Amino acid sequence: MDNGATSFPKAPGVAEKVFDYLKNVGTNLNRSSHGSSYEAESVAYETRELLCSLFQYDKPENVVFTKNVTESLNVLIKGIFRSGDHILISSMEHNAVMRPLNGLRSKGIAYDKLACDREGVLDVNEIGKHILPNTKGIIMTHASNVCGTILDIESVGKLCRQNGLAFIVDTAQTAGLFDIEFLSMGIDALAFTGHKSLLGPQGIGGFVISDKLAREMETLMEGGTGSLSDIEVQPDLMPDKFESGTLNIPGIFGLNESLKYIIRETTEAIREKEMALTGVFIEALLNMDHIDLIGRKNIMNRTGIVSIDFRSADNGIMAQSLREAFGITTRSGLHCAPSAHQTLGTFPRGTLRFGLGHFMSEDDIHYAIDSVYRLRSIMDR
Ligand SMILES: Cc1ncc(COP(=O)(O)O)c(C=O)c1O
| Each residue's pLDDT tens digit, 116-131 | 999 999 999 999 999 9
The last residue of a domain, from among 265, 296, 330: 265
Q: What's the chain's average pLDDT?
A: 96
376 falls in which pLDDT band (50, 70, 90)? confident
151 and 68 part of one domain:
yes
The predicted-structure confidence for 323-362, as pLDDT tens digits, reads as follows: 999 999 999 999 999 999 999 999 999 999 999 999 999 9
Q: How far, in Å, from the CA of 161 to the mean position of ligand 1? A: 26
pTM (two decimals)? 0.97
Percent of the chain exceeding pLDDT 90 equals 93
> Does 7 map to a domain?
no
252 and 329 part of one domain:
no
114 and 139 part of one domain:
yes
The last residue of a domain, from among 210, 235, 265: 265
244 and 102 part of one domain:
yes
| CA of 170, closest atom in ligand 1 | 3
Q: What is the mean pLDDT of residues 36-60?
A: 93
128 and 226 part of one domain:
yes
Whether the pLDDT of residue 381 is over 80: the answer is no
Please give, one letter per residue, the 3-state secondary structure of the chain.
CECCCCCCCCCCCHHHHHHHHHHHHCCCCCCCCCHHHHHHHHHHHHHHHHHHHHCCCCCHHHEEEECCHHHHHHHHHHHHCCCCCEEEEECCCCHHHHHHHHHHHHHCCEEEEECECCCCCECHHHCHHHCCCCEEEEEEECECCCCCEECCHHHHHHHHHHHCCEEEEECCCCECCECCCCCCCCCCEEEEECCCCCCCCCCCEEEEECHHHHHHCCCCCCCCCCCCCCCCCCCCCCCHHHCCCCCCHHHHHHHHHHHHHHHHHCHHHHHHHHHHHHHHHHHHHHCCCCEEEECCCCCCCECCEEEEEECCCCHHHHHHHHHHHHCCCCEEECCCCHHHHHHHCCCCCCEEEEECCCCCCHHHHHHHHHHHHHHHHHCCC
Number of domains present in the structure of the chain: 2
Q: What is the CATH number of the domain that holds 365?
A: 3.90.1150.10
> Does 8 map to a domain?
no
Return the pLDDT at 377.
74
| CA of 145, closest atom in ligand 1 | 16
Q: What is the CATH number of the domain that holds 198?
A: 3.40.640.10
Task: Tell me which residue has its CA closest to atom 10 in ligand 1.
Answer: 68
Whether the pLDDT of residue 35 is over 70: the answer is no
> Does 88 map to a domain?
yes
Return the pLDDT at 378.
72
156 and 62 part of one domain:
yes
Q: Which of 69, 98, 101, 144 is the best mutation target for the ligand 1 pocket, counting ligand atoms within 8 Å of the beta carbon and taking the most?
A: 69
> Does 246 map to a domain?
yes
Q: How far, in Å, from the CA of 175 to the mean position of ligand 1? A: 11
Range of the domain at 57: 14-265
299 and 353 part of one domain:
yes
